A and B are shown apart, each in its own frame.
Chain A
Amino acid sequence: MAFDYSWLIGGPQGSGVDTAANIFSRVSAKLGYHIFGKREYHSNIMGEHSYFVVRLSDEKISSNVNGANIMVAYDAETLIRHCLEIFKGGAIIYDSSVIDTTIDEIPTLEVGYKKRLLEFFKSKNMEPNVSSIIDLAKKNGVKVYPVSFRDVLANIANELGKPELSRMVRLFNILGVSFSLGILKAPIEPLLETIEDTFSKKPSIIELNKKAANFSYNYASAKFSDFQDSISNNGKSENTLLVQGHQGSALGKMVCGCRFQSYYPITPASDESEFLETHEILQVREDRPGSTSIIQTEDEISAIGMAIGASLTGVRSATSTSGPGFSLMAETLGWAGINEVPVVITLFQRSGPSTGLPTRHGQDDLLFAINAGHGEFPRIVYASGDVEDSFYDTGKCFNFADIFQVPVIHILDKFIASSIVTCNRFDPDLVSIDRGKLLEKIDGDYKRFALSEDGISPRSKLGLENGIFWNTGDESDEYGHITEDPVTRIQMMDKRQTKVEQIISLIPKEDQAVVYGKLDICIVSWGSPKGPILDAIEMHKQDGYEIGFIDIKLLHPFPTDYIKSLLIDSSIVIDIEANMTGQLASLIKENLLRDPDYYILKYTGRPMTCTEIFDSLKKILEKKAEKKQVLSYGD
């Protein structure tokens, strides 16, 4: 059996849960474990509940499970929300000061949640407070370790002879991680190293944090020594990265030569732009340094307008946004379409409609990405399933944009953006750059929209001698001047539409969809459910069942013939996606005239776990499933 362990840390937003989780993830990765971590938080800066779950394994994993083995709780709300998720034999370390808190004293519980909670307490004949839920966890076989974070901090302050430190509640982060590593008897060196890395920009606090870590690590290993679970050195691999979701596409952009990105701040997209800006100066082999212009604009309309303007100068350009921002871009997207401008829109989906669940996951923008903008024009909609894919796919999306001279919407989402994972070091040598028919020199008469067999005309750029062209959002002639001539209209519409066939025939099959296993019983999905699906398939394999999977990446234009050929012998087709209506399924119905036999959908805003998918697949295998199963795990 593979080692499989999940650690949860929770507390009020702004209390440093993230820092603690990042340190824990890094330490575990240094110990040689594969990591999959996810961050859940409210649309709030301070006070609302947030938590982080990090799963470690000695085998490759790509999702979270339901529940956790061990939890660190900074506040009463974390205990209330997550206590009962801890597995039998697991442990809860919590701040003892919250033990007497009653449900009514926690102001951040939503009305509906609180009502359900009170009903639950009533049904169990329990007082609605923290201490009774802890008792219940104990009854379930979970070990609980109350510890006064304040007292520990005071002791540290004392030991260092610096009483003022006892007020530094920020150190609670380090305490939480160190207790966890202490109770799990992990070697301490990776923790101390990680502290150095984490605070390398603030050397003054490194020593302090290390002292605090040492103290609380020893405290836990001494006081919680009856707990048996442990993690140890697994032998780390040289070639492994620990990356956060937004870093994949950002690094992909740097490597593939994107040199302009405009954006308007929005969760969960802006982290990517900020990472790019942090690294705006780029090292270039055998050349002077390059740079990316990262422009924070006044709104998303400006963001896409600027990216298009930059692209007209021949620069690989992008904008990055989420649903609300993408909605604002719709009109301008059409302009890029009719003017055949290569531009990449990185769309980090979250839950809509409207502001929806602004910090939560969702895959409800697929059909919108395909249809956004009025009128008929070709575009590419392409999705990546995880961080590693997002690095390589970003380069592909820029190639598609250049080769076919179309806007490309590269879909990612909140699940990917706020996960932290170990993966193989990205290999820039695997990224090829193809700029299509972009010209560097022009002689003679030039027509930007010259009619051609493949619908793709040689492309000039602003500043190129003899390459003058006109663009207009109106229908235009070959030079780009306005026309309303019906014959030219047909020619130009047909010219642009020809690209659809080009796209389908020139994008390699393996980039259109990725096939896993035998497809008799076959899952179809797109984007980030990939990870939990692969893990769930693996779990079924161990039980002796084979389930296949098609990860469809090119969603528009839809690779109808290819997908049809893959599904031709499938007896059961199961659609899995994180939306309410099954948007991929509707594309399959429209294009293949085939309705998937089963749907597994989730639209709570929380990512799917492999446990949930495993369970739903099991019902299907046992022929006990309804046509549509709706998942709801997670807080």
Chain B
Amino acid sequence: MATKLGDYKTQVHNDWCPGCGDFGIVNAIQMSLTEMQIPRHKAAIFSGIGCSGKTSHFINVYGVHTLHGRVLTFAQGAKIANPEMTIVAVGGDGDGLGIGAGHFVAAGRRNVNMTYIIFDNAVYGLTKGQASPTLKLGEQTKSLANPNSNYNVNPIALAISSGFTFVARSYSYDVRQLKNIITAAIKHKGLSFIDILQPCPTYNDLYTRDWFAGIDQINEETKKPTPRIYNLSDTGYDPVVHYSTITELNEKLSQALEKSLEWGNKIPTGIFYKNELITPYTKRITDKIPNYLENPAAKQKISKNGKSTTDVSDILDSLKI
């Protein structure tokens, strides 16, 4: 029986502020799961701590709301132990790029087959609006006493240089594009990353819905705002690495890095970089353990009638004197 959008929703009261960009992201994840018809028990949402961290409670699949900054560690452990699960990890920009930045980089290097989504609102929402790692130097959002004194992290560039093999950006109010990108990310063979620009109407008075819509950039002729957000795919941009040549790989990495620097009047969204030629972690395991995918940890039988079925006699023999 086909699952419907409603099947992926829980009854849990959603306590995000009215107008929060997070709503669009939850909807898009649910739409994507519906579109792909992923059985509810075969999917798990792992989340960090922050406003964004509550996401797992709103989606009716396995939901693991972890610790501040640690979501990727839990998620990778689960995926490696049970590679049949569809795993989406989500969290805030503070969660993933501040306290969890080490895990972010390490996860990229592993390239475990799952998806990681950052809710990028440039503030620490749940702790009342402090500067997050994506807020730019000198910017001052509403609850800051002084302008931000740190340079910002570039999530797209960091993901690319850490080894993520699918790197995209989307916008939380463009739920259709968002859903499409989430679906592409989940289908990607390797670790996919989506940086979602997520307005926080409560604490971020700089990157507002209006700002993204460009209401301060009125076109002289049409007298209409010129939206900042545009889609890379509308510009003929090709993010995919097609051949395993160094030249092509370097070209694709460079173009993605260059695009990641674009910010201000025009902000690119869409897929920046996609490379399925880099081995996913699964392949790195099956190279050592050939039957890993048929018989991963979660499927192995370890006992019969309460007794161990593992046979270590060869190892014990080797220790015999």
- Taken together as a complex, chains A and B put the C-alpha atoms of A90 and B253 apart, in Å, by 69
Contact count band on B: 35 or more
Tell me if A429 counts as interface (CB < 8 A to partner B).
Answer: yes
Are A428 and B308 touching (Cβ within 8 A)? yes
Q: How far is the CB of A417 from chain B (nearest CB, A)?
A: 16
Are B288 and A280 touching (Cβ within 8 A)? yes
Tell me if A57 counts as interface (CB < 8 A to partner B).
Answer: no
Are A308 and B311 touching (Cβ within 8 A)? no
Contact with B57, one of A288, A395, A482 (Cβ below 8 angstroms): A482
Contact with B63, one of A298, A308, A434, A480 (Cβ below 8 angstroms): A480
Q: How far is the CB of A223 from chain B (nearest CB, A)?
A: 29
Q: Which of the candidate stretches B29-37, B229-237, B298-306 sits at the interface with the other chain?
A: B298-306
Q: Which of the candidate stretches A349-357, A451-459, A471-479 sits at the interface with the other chain?
A: A471-479
Tell me if A464 counts as interface (CB < 8 A to partner B).
Answer: yes
Q: How far is the CB of A334 from chain B (nearest CB, A)?
A: 9
Are A313 and B307 touching (Cβ within 8 A)? no
Are B63 and A305 touching (Cβ within 8 A)? no
Are B81 and A241 touching (Cβ within 8 A)? no
Q: How far is the CB of A337 from chain B (nearest CB, A)?
A: 12
Are A283 and B311 touching (Cβ within 8 A)? yes
Are A305 and B81 touching (Cβ within 8 A)? no
Beta-carbon nearest neighbor of A334 in chain B: B67
Given known pairs A465-B41, A468-B40, the reply for A242 and B308 (CB within 8 Å) is no
Are A432 and B82 touching (Cβ within 8 A)? no
Q: How far is the CB of A472 from chain B (nearest CB, A)?
A: 4
Tell me if A315 counts as interface (CB < 8 A to partner B).
Answer: yes
Beta-carbon nearest neighbor of B74 in chain A: A309
Beta-carbon nearest neighbor of A244 in chain B: B319
Are B310 and A255 touching (Cβ within 8 A)? yes
Beta-carbon nearest neighbor of A435 in chain B: B303
Q: Which of the candidate stretches B171-179, B196-204, B216-224, B289-297 sits at the interface with the other chain?
A: B289-297
- Taken together as a complex, chains A and B put the C-alpha atoms of A255 and B309 apart, in Å, by 8
Are B70 and A332 touching (Cβ within 8 A)? yes
Are A313 and B81 touching (Cβ within 8 A)? yes
Q: How far is the CB of A627 from chain B (nearest CB, A)?
A: 43
Total A-B contacts with CB atoms under 8 angstroms apart: 236
Are A297 and B106 touching (Cβ within 8 A)? yes
Contact with B302, one of A30, A331, A433, A480 (Cβ below 8 angstroms): A433
Beta-carbon nearest neighbor of B103 in chain A: A302
- Taken together as a complex, chains A and B put the C-alpha atoms of A415 and B76 apart, in Å, by 33
Are A305 and B62 touching (Cβ within 8 A)? no
Instruction: Output the residue of A289, A313, A315, A480 with the most chain B CB within 10 A.
Output: A313
B65: chain A residues at CB < 8 Å are: 470-474, 482
Tell me if B28 counts as interface (CB < 8 A to partner A).
Answer: no
A312: chain B residues at CB < 8 Å are: 64, 74, 78
Contact with A260, one of B60, B77, B291, B311 (Cβ below 8 angstroms): B77
Tell me if A72 counts as interface (CB < 8 A to partner B).
Answer: no
- Taken together as a complex, chains A and B put the C-alpha atoms of A285 and B307 apart, in Å, by 11
Are A293 and B297 touching (Cβ within 8 A)? yes
Are B64 and A468 touching (Cβ within 8 A)? no
- Taken together as a complex, chains A and B put the C-alpha atoms of A434 and B307 apart, in Å, by 9
Tell me if B54 counts as interface (CB < 8 A to partner A).
Answer: yes
B102: chain A residues at CB < 8 Å are: 298-299, 302
- Taken together as a complex, chains A and B put the C-alpha atoms of A317 and B80 apart, in Å, by 12
Which residues in window 289-328 of A have CB below 8 A to B? 289-293, 295, 297-299, 301-317
Are A428 and B321 touching (Cβ within 8 A)? no
Contact with B74, one of A30, A286, A308 (Cβ below 8 angstroms): A308
Tell me if B192 counts as interface (CB < 8 A to partner A).
Answer: no
Given known pairs A256-B308, A310-B297, A470-B64, the reply for A426 and B316 (CB within 8 Å) is yes
- Taken together as a complex, chains A and B put the C-alpha atoms of A544 and B300 apart, in Å, by 54
- Taken together as a complex, chains A and B put the C-alpha atoms of A429 and B305 apart, in Å, by 12
Are A309 and B77 touching (Cβ within 8 A)? yes
Tell me if A101 counts as interface (CB < 8 A to partner B).
Answer: no
- Taken together as a complex, chains A and B put the C-alpha atoms of A422 and B319 apart, in Å, by 10
Are B298 and A301 touching (Cβ within 8 A)? no
B81: chain A residues at CB < 8 Å are: 259-260, 293, 309-310, 313, 315, 317
B140: chain A residues at CB < 8 Å are: none
Are A462 and B62 touching (Cβ within 8 A)? yes
Q: How far is the CB of B234 from chain A (nearest CB, A)?
A: 38
Given known pairs A285-B309, A313-B78, the reply for A280 and B289 (CB within 8 Å) is yes
B41: chain A residues at CB < 8 Å are: 463-468
Beta-carbon nearest neighbor of B45 in chain A: A470
B44: chain A residues at CB < 8 Å are: 462
Are B80 and A310 touching (Cβ within 8 A)? yes
Beta-carbon nearest neighbor of B40 in chain A: A468
Contact with B291, one of A283, A289, A331 (Cβ below 8 angstroms): A289
Which residues in window 424-452 of A have CB below 8 A to B? 425-426, 428-429, 431-435
Tell me if B158 counts as interface (CB < 8 A to partner A).
Answer: no
Which residues in window 267-288 of A have CB below 8 A to B? 279-288
Are B310 and A462 touching (Cβ within 8 A)? no
Given known pairs A312-B78, A315-B297, A468-B62, the reply for A242 and B319 (CB within 8 Å) is yes
Tell me if A251 counts as interface (CB < 8 A to partner B).
Answer: yes
1/0 per position for A409-429, CB-CB distance to B under 8 A? 000000000000010011011
Are B306 and A305 touching (Cβ within 8 A)? no
Tell me if B42 counts as interface (CB < 8 A to partner A).
Answer: yes
Contact with A309, one of B76, B311, B319 (Cβ below 8 angstroms): B76
- Taken together as a complex, chains A and B put the C-alpha atoms of A435 and B304 apart, in Å, by 12
Are B316 and A425 touching (Cβ within 8 A)? yes
A466: chain B residues at CB < 8 Å are: 41
Contact with B312, one of A301, A304, A428 (Cβ below 8 angstroms): A428
A481: chain B residues at CB < 8 Å are: 10, 12, 57
Tell me if A186 counts as interface (CB < 8 A to partner B).
Answer: no
Tell me if A26 counts as interface (CB < 8 A to partner B).
Answer: yes
Are A236 and B321 touching (Cβ within 8 A)? yes
Are A305 and B78 touching (Cβ within 8 A)? no
Are B75 and A309 touching (Cβ within 8 A)? yes
A180: chain B residues at CB < 8 Å are: none
Tell me if A240 counts as interface (CB < 8 A to partner B).
Answer: yes
Are B67 and A335 touching (Cβ within 8 A)? yes
Are A293 and B63 touching (Cβ within 8 A)? no
Are A302 and B73 touching (Cβ within 8 A)? yes
Are A310 and B78 touching (Cβ within 8 A)? yes
Tell me if B314 counts as interface (CB < 8 A to partner A).
Answer: yes
Are A462 and B78 touching (Cβ within 8 A)? yes
Contact with A262, one of B77, B82, B84, B292 (Cβ below 8 angstroms): B77
- Taken together as a complex, chains A and B put the C-alpha atoms of A332 and B309 apart, in Å, by 31
Are B73 and A306 touching (Cβ within 8 A)? yes
A-B contact pairs, 19 of them (CB 8 A): A282-B312, A283-B311, A285-B304, A287-B309, A291-B291, A306-B74, A306-B77, A306-B80, A309-B78, A309-B81, A310-B77, A312-B78, A313-B81, A315-B81, A428-B308, A431-B307, A433-B303, A433-B308, A471-B64
Interface positions of B (Cβ within 8 A of A):
10, 12, 39-42, 44, 46, 49, 54, 56-57, 60-67, 70, 72-82, 84-85, 102-103, 105-106, 285, 288-289, 291-292, 294-298, 300-304, 306-312, 314-316, 319-321
Extra 15 A-B pairs, beta carbons < 8 Å, given A290-B310, A309-B81, A469-B62:
A257-B310, A260-B297, A280-B289, A285-B304, A285-B311, A291-B291, A293-B296, A308-B74, A313-B78, A432-B306, A462-B85, A465-B41, A466-B41, A468-B63, A471-B65
| Minimum-distance CB pairs A-B, first 6 | A309-B77, A257-B302, A305-B73, A306-B77, A298-B106, A310-B81
